[in-house]
A and B are shown apart, each in its own frame.
Chain A
Amino acid sequence: MQSATRPAWQQFVIDGLEEVTHGSWRYHAWMATLTFFMLLGSWAYSVQMREGLIVTGMHDHVSWGLYISNFTFLVGVAAAAVVLVMPTYVLKDHDFSRAVLIGEAMAVAALVMAISFVVVDVGGPARLWHMLPGLGLFNWPSSMLCWDILVLNVYLVLNFSIPLYLLYSRYNDRSPNRKLYLPLVLLSILWAVSLHLVTAFLYAGLPARPFWHTALMGPRFLATAFTAGPALMILVLSVIRRNTPFQIRDVTIGKLSLVVTVAAQICLVMLVSEMFTEFYRSTHHGASARYLYFGLAGHHALVPWIWSAIAMNVAATGILTVHRSRKTPVLLEVGCVLLFLGILIEKGVGTIIPGFIPEPWGKIHEYAPSWVEITVSAGIWAAGCFVFTVLAKTAIPIELGERRYRATPNHSPSAVVAPTLVMPDGTPVAPPQSAPTA
């Protein structure tokens, strides 16, 4: 399979490319579909570049729309990788070790999407070099957007480089040097929490928008992130373990589903807290919430969306809270799908759009995304799926021991469940011993 004459890093790249370009017809069909949507999105973006953001549904009153909604949601998905990273590397919970690479790949994909959504939202993407330190002017620490750009990019580098290093070590049959990666892992954990707090502060720091100007914004962002992120992870892991020899044990899914359940419950508590303050003695600062939940002055574009989202979240939390239904794979997956969609709506359009409605002088100008926005967004989601698939496709065979720099001739990948990672104390991860957790 491999030629040992090349240097390891060259062979690593070649093997990666070979892995990405070869697969079943279903794999190719999947990638072709994604490519189609990416091209479609690029074309829609070229229309936006030519005409300006006038082709979106945004206007001076609702100056952020679908793009920034998606950005907000995806930062949460990215931050959720910490759910896998922390137990694996720090708490030495071996059950998560297999899923952690998938989680990190998901974080990378989510970050790529989040950054893309910001780039397509700006009016002058060609002038983005004005942000580069040294060349441009970076309004740090004053602007929360600068904080966000900083944490996003560092988190992207961390989530890309840590798994790359671990996989590369494994590819070369070496033990990774924990002194090298453990500090980075610890940093990435800290980073994940701050990443999403900073994204919340981006909005919460604006007294001009009372709907966002709440201390609950940060905690609520974290809670929704730790619901939607792991929910998506459960779905992805279910797909992977059905379609690849990469075995994810029930206990991993079980623990993840527990995280999702607790986080979803906290989300509901926070939703109720938020609604109480907005509605018990409603002031004019509650106008956005009234618009969102009940409609205001005859305008109610978001009402069906937010109530569908709440219904989905409540139903899913119910499903997951009952032990028996949570442990039924089909119900668990239904619950995860509902939570993912529910939070996508609630945290995306349900958080960003009402911040602008009514506008600062109380007038209502509604927003609906245009076909350009929807197509570009679909393209970016396709690009995210593409990135994730590429990363997972290359990582899995290395993780399984199918691809090595110097392959053992009689190596039989399916026969051996190789230790996945080396724990911080240097011991290899042992095969599963523990029973699935409640």
Chain B
Amino acid sequence: MKHFTLFLLLLTAACSSSPHRPPTQGTPVLDLVKQATQKNTNAGLSSDAFLVGIASVNGVASRTPHLQRYPCARCHDRSPEALKQAAALKQGKKAAHWEVKLVHAPEGVLGCTSCHQLNKEKDVNQLHSLRGEPIAFDASYKLCGQCHSRQEKDWIGGAHGKRLGGWAPPRVRQACTGCHNPHNPKLASRWPAIAAATKGASRHE
């Protein structure tokens, strides 16, 4: 019996030495989180390599490079009425922004001028707040945040929206309009990406 115990002990010594077990294994995660209060350099890692080709302003992806008709002042150099008249002269052409159908907020709440500045005394290349303060197209969150303050708070914190590039700094957030069409902000229904000839189709013929 004594030999057996000795044998077991030896075996334990031989086998149970666990090499390179992370010291935190088994520790409640929130304990680790609570302890980590110091500024973290994230091992010097950087998202820069993942952000190539993504323009940003103050950590928010730029909107202006993606705008089809910008700067606005290229056309909006006169009053909207004058522009409409000019457009009407060009027979057979659709009016500018004909495709924009505003599906945002209940009927009658918002119009073009709720966000866009068409008064030629102001800078038409900028959006404007409810109080008429100019807001750059690249800072549209300030505009959206007027109503959607809860979403804005989550977006600033990191619970809403998308982060571009990697997880490591610098942090670049997708702008509101990067995901939501401001004229029709609801994301569309569609078919799942795992579609025909894959999981779905083979199981649901």
Query: CB–CB under 8 A between A and B in the complex?
Result: yes
**Interface residues as binary, A118-142 with B (CB distance below 8 Å gives 1, 0 otherwise):** 0000000000000001000011111
**Interface residues as binary, B17-40 with A (CB distance below 8 Å gives 1, 0 otherwise):** 010000000000000000000000
> Would A133 and B4 count as touching, CB distance under 8 A?
no
> Would A141 and B4 count as touching, CB distance under 8 A?
no
Q: Is B188 in contact with chain A by the CB < 8 A criterion?
A: no
Q: Which residues does chain B contribute within 8 Å of A141, judged by CB atoms?
A: 12, 15-16
> Would B15 and A138 count as touching, CB distance under 8 A?
yes
> Would A140 and B4 count as touching, CB distance under 8 A?
no
Q: Which of A103-162 contact B (CB under 8 A)?
A: 133, 138-142, 146
Q: Is A272 in contact with chain B by the CB < 8 A criterion?
A: no
Interface residues on chain A, number (Cβ under 8 Å): 9
Q: Is A206 in contact with chain B by the CB < 8 A criterion?
A: no
Q: Which residues does chain B contribute within 8 Å of A138, judged by CB atoms?
A: 15
Q: Is A4 in contact with chain B by the CB < 8 A criterion?
A: no
Instruction: Give bound CA distance, A142 to B1, whole Å.
Output: 23
- From B12, B14, B16, B18, contact of A133 by CB (8 A): B14
Instruction: Give bound CA distance, A142 to B14, whole Å.
Output: 13
Q: Is A187 in contact with chain B by the CB < 8 A criterion?
A: yes
Q: How far is the CB of B11 from chain A (nearest CB, A)?
A: 7
> Would A187 and B4 count as touching, CB distance under 8 A?
yes
**B4 to chain A: closest residue by CB:** A187
Q: Which residues does chain B contribute within 8 Å of A187, judged by CB atoms?
A: 4
**Interface residues as binary, B150-174 with A (CB distance below 8 Å gives 1, 0 otherwise):** 0000000000000000000000000
**A186 to chain B: closest residue by CB:** B1
Instruction: Give bound CA distance, A141 to B18, whole Å.
Output: 10
Instruction: Give bound CA distance, A187 to B1, whole Å.
Output: 8
**Interface residues as binary, A162-199 with B (CB distance below 8 Å gives 1, 0 otherwise):** 00000000000000000000010001000000000000
Q: Which residues does chain A contribute within 8 Å of B1, judged by CB atoms?
A: 183
Number of contact residues on B: which range applies? under 10
Instruction: Give bound CA distance, A138 to B18, whole Å.
Output: 10
**Interface residues as binary, A334-355 with B (CB distance below 8 Å gives 1, 0 otherwise):** 0000000000000000000000
Instruction: Give bound CA distance, A183 to B4, whole Å.
Output: 10
Q: How far is the CB of A162 from chain B (nearest CB, A)?
A: 16
Q: How far is the CB of B205 from chain A (nearest CB, A)?
A: 18
Q: Which residues does chain B contribute within 8 Å of A183, judged by CB atoms?
A: 1
Q: Which residues does chain B contribute within 8 Å of A146, judged by CB atoms?
A: 15
**B16 to chain A: closest residue by CB:** A141
Q: Which one of B4, B12, B15 has the highest number of Cβ atoms from chain A below 10 Å of its Cβ?
A: B15
Instruction: Give bound CA distance, A434 to B37, whole Å.
Output: 80
Q: Which residues does chain B contribute within 8 Å of A142, judged by CB atoms?
A: 16, 18
**A150 to chain B: closest residue by CB:** B11
Q: Which residues does chain A contribute within 8 Å of B12, judged by CB atoms?
A: 140-141
Instruction: Give bound CA distance, A133 to B13, whole Å.
Output: 12
Q: Which residues does chain B contribute within 8 Å of A140, judged by CB atoms?
A: 11-12, 15-16
Q: How far is the CB of B159 from chain A (nearest CB, A)?
A: 25
Q: How far is the CB of A80 from chain B (nearest CB, A)?
A: 22
Instruction: Give bound CA distance, A187 to B4, whole Å.
Output: 9
Instruction: Give bound CA distance, A307 to B71, whole Å.
Output: 78
Instruction: Give bound CA distance, A140 to B18, whole Å.
Output: 9
Instruction: Give bound CA distance, A133 to B18, whole Å.
Output: 14
Q: How far is the CB of B19 from chain A (nearest CB, A)?
A: 8
Q: Which residues does chain A contribute within 8 Å of B11, judged by CB atoms?
A: 140
Q: How far is the CB of A139 from chain B (nearest CB, A)?
A: 8
Instruction: Give bound CA distance, A236 to B12, whole Å.
Output: 40
Q: Which residues does chain B contribute within 8 Å of A139, judged by CB atoms?
A: 15
Q: Which residues does chain A contribute within 8 Å of B15, judged by CB atoms?
A: 133, 138-141, 146
**Interface residues as binary, B95-138 with A (CB distance below 8 Å gives 1, 0 otherwise):** 00000000000000000000000000000000000000000000
Instruction: Give bound CA distance, A183 to B3, whole Å.
Output: 10
Instruction: Give bound CA distance, A285 to B12, whole Å.
Output: 35
Q: Which residues does chain A contribute within 8 Å of B16, judged by CB atoms?
A: 140-142
Q: How far is the CB of B17 from chain A (nearest CB, A)?
A: 11
Q: How far is the CB of B200 from chain A (nearest CB, A)?
A: 16
Q: How far is the CB of A114 from chain B (nearest CB, A)?
A: 21
Q: Which of A221-254 contact B (CB under 8 A)?
A: none
Q: How far is the CB of A137 from chain B (nearest CB, A)?
A: 8
**B15 to chain A: closest residue by CB:** A140
Instruction: Give bound CA distance, A138 to B11, whole Å.
Output: 10
Q: Which residues does chain A contribute within 8 Å of B14, judged by CB atoms?
A: 133
Instruction: Give bound CA distance, A140 to B12, whole Å.
Output: 7
**B8 to chain A: closest residue by CB:** A141
Q: How far is the CB of A198 from chain B (nearest CB, A)?
A: 14
Q: How far is the CB of B106 from chain A (nearest CB, A)?
A: 40
Q: How far is the CB of B14 from chain A (nearest CB, A)?
A: 7
Instruction: Give bound CA distance, A146 to B12, whole Å.
Output: 12
Instruction: Give bound CA distance, A183 to B1, whole Å.
Output: 8
The 6 closest A-B pairs by CB, nearest first: A140-B15, A138-B15, A141-B16, A141-B12, A140-B16, A187-B4
**Would you give 16 A-B contacts (Cβ < 8 Å), ordered by A?**
A133-B14, A133-B15, A138-B15, A139-B15, A140-B11, A140-B12, A140-B15, A140-B16, A141-B12, A141-B15, A141-B16, A142-B16, A142-B18, A146-B15, A183-B1, A187-B4
Q: A140-B15, A146-B15, A187-B4 are in contact. List 10 more A-B contacts (CB 8 A).
A: A133-B14, A138-B15, A139-B15, A140-B11, A140-B16, A141-B15, A141-B16, A142-B16, A142-B18, A183-B1
Which residues of B come within 8 Å of A, CB atoms? Answer: 1, 4, 11-12, 14-16, 18
